[in-house]
Amino acid sequence: MRTVHSFQCAMLLSSLLCLPSLAGCKEDATWKSEGKVSIAAGAELLKPWLQELPRWSNWSVFNAEGLAANGPTVSGPPSGAGATLVWRGANKLVGGKLEFSAADANAAVSYKSTTLADAPNGTGRLTVVPDGKKSTVTWTDAGKLHVADAVKKAAEVQAARDWMIQTSLQKLTAEAEEAAAWQAKMKAKQVAEEQQRKREALAMPKEGPADGD
């Protein structure tokens, strides 16, 4: 009787604590990914790339598989709090949304992400800090899972988000530096044209006083 009683107590305790050894038991686990890059472009050029959600498709690979399977839909304002990106994967049960929230002075973007399937919900933040003629962009993405085998899944999520952040920042760097170089070229051309106009104006002969004056 003691053996049966001890077994029943052990099972009751396991169910209360939700031990990972039990099939289907849910655990808590967290992930946090971060990437940082220095870009040869001004902060004012970079912020629209981050803040305008429709432009994310030009550089971000956030949930690339879902976005590629069935193009995203942007709703709400194009930027700022409430701007929302909704996507569906090949499987109708797979999808989710990313919604911009309010940002502080240094945060170009803050967001929260949710999913329809047994996948992560989290928050993210992108900041742009001027550094002379360059800017430092930092992207952090973090969240918590409450699912079966959460520790393993959180590790998988972090690996996927690490790749997503690094790949996106590389694409952002290439796109932004190309745009910055083009802007610099156009500005130099305008300066040269203005200087040429001034030289031509100085070279023009001055008209003398009219006859009879």
In a domain, 204, yes or no: no
Domain that holds residue 154: 24-195
Write out pLDDT tens, residues 132-163: 889 999 999 998 887 778 888 888 888 888 98
Bigger pLDDT: 4 vs 192: 192
Mean pLDDT of 18-39: 76
Angle at 211 between CA 207 and CA 213, to 5 degrees: 95
CATH number at residue 85: 3.30.530.20
Residue 99: CB atoms within 10 Å: 18
In a domain, 97, yes or no: yes
pLDDT at 41 over 50: yes
In a domain, 208, yes or no: no
What total number of domains does the chain contain? Answer: 1
Q: For residues 139 and 110, what is the distance between their CA atoms, to the nearest angstrom?
A: 10
What is the β-pairing status of strands 26-39 and 73-75? unpaired
In a domain, 3, yes or no: no
Do 88 and 70 meet the contact criterion of CB atoms below 8 Å apart? Answer: yes
* 30 Cβ neighbours under 8 A, 6+ residues apart: 142, 143, 144, 145, 154
By the 10 Å C-beta count (0-12 exposed, 13-18 middle, 19+ buried), 192 is classed as exposed
User: Whole-model pTM?
Assistant: 0.72
Question: CA dihedral defined by 205, 209, 210, 212, rounded to 10 degrees?
Answer: -150
Give the rounded distance of the alpha carbon of 70 from its chain centre.
Answer: 19
